Structure 1
Amino acid sequence: MKRLEYSAHLKWDGNVGSEAKVREFTFHIDTNTDGHNKGPNPTEYLLAAIGGCLTVNWGRLIKKMRLDVKGFEVEVRGWRGLDEPQLKEITYKITVFTNEDEKKIMRVKELAEKYGTVFNTVGAEKIKGEVEIIKPADP
């Protein structure tokens, strides 16, 4: 079976954080509560990973479908109660700057969710998304 493999190596910082190495990239994971605030916490990285997954897939689909998109932004949010260590809701909003037909843009949303590795690993049933289309003025 063909497969893609991923790996990360983390080294503890002696407190609650770590330095992570993924391929040739190094970054810090920490907290701003009882850590040294050297980087986002794991939950923030999870939200960023969901947003990154959507961004990669939206970018690929926009290119593949040859859509005229001036730009787009993704905001991902999540919340949990203080008594249970699990995100209860994850939402995202994509703001797209384009004059393309709404049906084409919503098709991008559908396909980006369908083929997103991180999106589907977390679980599509846990993530709710919306799209706002802003039509830029033609010069």
Structure 2
Amino acid sequence: MERLEYKAELEWDGNVGSTAKVREFTFKIDTNTDGRNAGPNPTEYLLSAIGGCLTVNWGRLIKKMRLDVEGFKVEVRGWRTRDEPQLREITYKITVFTNEPERKILRVKELAEKYGTVFNTVGAEKINGEVEIVRP
């Protein structure tokens, strides 16, 4: 079995944030509450990672299936209570601009969820998604 490895290195900023380095990319992690607001907080990065995972897989599948899609956008949301440090619900909505049949677009959704690394690491049972098809 081929093993794919990932690595991130983080350096503390002296307050509550950090600078993360992944391959040749660097980015800030912070908060807008007690930090310096120098970057998104870890929960926002998690939601972005879920959205990025879906975007990569949708893009791959659209190409592989040779679908005519003008574009799509992904919105990912999550919420928690102040008392419990866990997202209670994560939802996403993908808006697709296409004239392709609905069944083909829903197949992309199914496969993107099935093969998404971040999606499945978080847990497919924790994430609910919907698709809106906009006919150009």
TM range (shorter): over 0.9
Alpha-carbon distance in 2 for matches of 1:82, 1:36: 21
Deviation (angstroms), 1:121:
0.1
Any residues of structure 2 matched to 1:81-120 within 5 Å, and which? 81-120=81-120
Count of equivalent residues = 136
Give the TM-score taking structure 1 as reference length: 0.97
Q: Cα deviations across residues 20-76 of structure 1 (Å, max 9, x unaligned)?
A: 000000000000000000000000000000000000000000000000000000000
* Deviation, structure 1 residue 78: 0.1
Q: Which residue of 2 aligns with 1:34?
A: 34
State the one-letter code of the partner of 1:6.
Answer: Y
Q: What TM-score does the superposition give when structure 2 sets the normalisation length?
A: 1.00
Look up the SS of the partner of 1:94 in the other structure: strand
Runs of 4+ in 1 over 4 A off after TM superposition: none
For 2:65 and 2:104, how far apart are their aligned partners in 1? Answer: 9
1:2 offset after TM fit, Å? 1.4
Distance in 2 of aligned mates of 1:5 and 1:74: 26
CA RMSD of aligned residues (A): 0.3
Q: Kindly, what percent of the aligned residue pairs are identical?
A: 85
Aligned to 1:72: 72
Q: Report what 1:23 is aligned to.
A: 23
SS in 2 for 1:97: strand
Q: Note the C-alpha offset of 1:83.
A: 0.4
- Structure 2: gaps (5+ residues): none
Q: Secondary structure at the match of 2:55?
A: helix
Q: Secondary structure at the match of 1:26?
A: strand
SS at match of 1:5: coil
Which ranges of structure 1 fall in alignment gaps of 5 or more residues? none
